[in-house]
Structure 1
């Protein structure tokens, strides 16, 4: 990618996705941000409402991004569903399916539209947001952890298959205070009947430099990696 690049961010309603979208736009990059709820545009950043569980809506989002940006240098997938917080043996299958649909299949749908475009353009950087829960069991988050594990494995497969095309694919795990983290804590506390123990998490801004680096040409040699931020 050039020093100024174009990025599609899916899952930018709040948290890491929203913070990264504003951070990149403030640095002069062009951003199309997909969000489940409407948000105002900003200089160098256009918000597009999208339901990533809907194939047609995802297709329209991808087309809108390509038309607006002309070329897609980067794709960051941050979308996740906060539901299905439950003991593993008590999980509702439909709620579990929703978590998988948002966290994994939404990316599969979007990659199907944007990867061919990036191939034609000669390369780019794809980042998926994973989780430590993908590799370490977390109480009451079996659905979330399983979905993130599937996303991380799919990302590694994508990286392997795109080797030599100029497109690199990496997964990052963030440790930050986000709306998702707060929702998980609240749901856990309700199940336990007491506050959910949780270490204090840093501001989401502390996780942005890693994503910026992976999107840049400085990381053109890095692909197929899962990089986890450590909790404080």
Structure 2
């Protein structure tokens, strides 16, 4: 098991990748999963699903807004108090920041995206650094996006914030390596799960075409034409958090089925 006996924190537990990260961490043998999100109802739903999956993984729910530094520190402190250590943090919480073209000139969507995706992820990461440095070991994984390298309509604010996050990963990884910590990122493409399924339904209805057509269009650039699932991308992120990735630091792993290749 990838995460046998590990204590894993996951921010941004929502209906898509976030809850799958928590579930897959439990499935991979984590001793405990601490989950944070603004919506307490989603946390409780995730807790129920994890406990239904296994009786060997403890679950801690901490309502957390990652734009609030005190909330992030509270999340980390509760995790440490409950489980005695923090082995991994997966920063999955995000905001798209709205959809607009760069030329529209409204910086509000960009500010929102930066506040959550960059500064919020840094708040959460800083909250665990002290304990990980005391342990002499720990892994942080930032969830990034293919949109940084492949523009899509309305994605400028989101991609700009995630580009800043990608640069920060390299600096944080360099700074913390001497303490035994690793920091990496996962760049996801379209993921077949509840959020994208909802997007496909809405787009199909608005355009008067079939859902199958919209899904095929989104998958057209992927070799083999198959969109990867939330679960598959979650497993890739958890690999980066595991000891199997001990040689990997400051990297960004693509999880998009080959839609973009280095």
Q: TM-score range by the shorter chain?
A: 0.7 to 0.9
How much has 1:54 moved relative to structure 2? 1.7
Q: TM-score, normalised by structure 1?
A: 0.88
Q: TM-score, normalised by structure 2?
A: 0.79
How much has 1:2 moved relative to structure 2? 7.4
Give the 5 Å matches for 1:220-231: 220-231=246-257
How much has 1:92 moved relative to structure 2? 2.8
Residues 175-232 of structure 1: CA deviation (Å, up to 9, x unaligned): 3124554576689x59xx7477522623211223322322221211110101112346
**Alignment partner of 1:135 is 2:149:** yes
**Are the aligned partners of 1:9 and 1:32 in contact in 2 as well (CA < 8 Å)?**
yes
Q: 2:229 maps to which residue?
A: 203
Give, in whole Å, the separation in 1 of the partners of 2:5 and 2:135: 15
Q: 1:78 maps to which residue?
A: 92
SS in 2 for 1:212: helix
Larger Rg: 2
Give, in whole Å, the separation in 1 of the partners of 2:95 and 2:199: 10
SS in 1 for 2:5: coil
Residues 47-73 of structure 1: CA deviation (Å, up to 9, x unaligned): 211111122222222222222221000
Give, in whole Å, the separation in 2 of the partners of 1:37 and 1:173: 25
Give, in whole Å, the separation in 1 of the partners of 2:198 and 2:176: 35
- Equivalenced residue count is 229
How much has 1:118 moved relative to structure 2? 0.4
Q: 1:51 maps to which residue?
A: 65
Residues 127-176 of structure 1: CA deviation (Å, up to 9, x unaligned): 10111111232221000111111111111110011122211111011231
Give, in whole Å, the separation in 1 of the partners of 2:197 and 2:72: 27
**Are the aligned partners of 1:174 and 1:207 in contact in 2 as well (CA < 8 Å)?**
yes
Give, in whole Å, the separation in 2 of the partners of 1:135 and 1:147: 13
Give, in whole Å, the separation in 1 of the partners of 2:16 and 2:3: 27
* Structure 1 unaligned spans of 5+: none
Q: Larger helix proportion, structure 1 or 2?
A: 2
The 3 A distance-change label for structure 1 pair 183 and 80 is: farther
C-alpha RMSD over aligned residues: 2.5
**Are the aligned partners of 2:7 and 2:88 in contact in 1 as well (CA < 8 Å)?**
yes
Give the 5 Å matches for 1:39-188: 39-40=43-44, 41-42=47-48, 43=51, 44-90=58-104, 92-175=106-189, 176-181=191-196
**Are the aligned partners of 1:170 and 1:224 in contact in 2 as well (CA < 8 Å)?**
yes
Q: 1:214 maps to which residue?
A: 240
Give, in whole Å, the separation in 2 of the partners of 1:174 and 1:24: 18
Give, in whole Å, the separation in 1 of the partners of 2:135 and 2:3: 13
SS in 2 for 1:198: helix
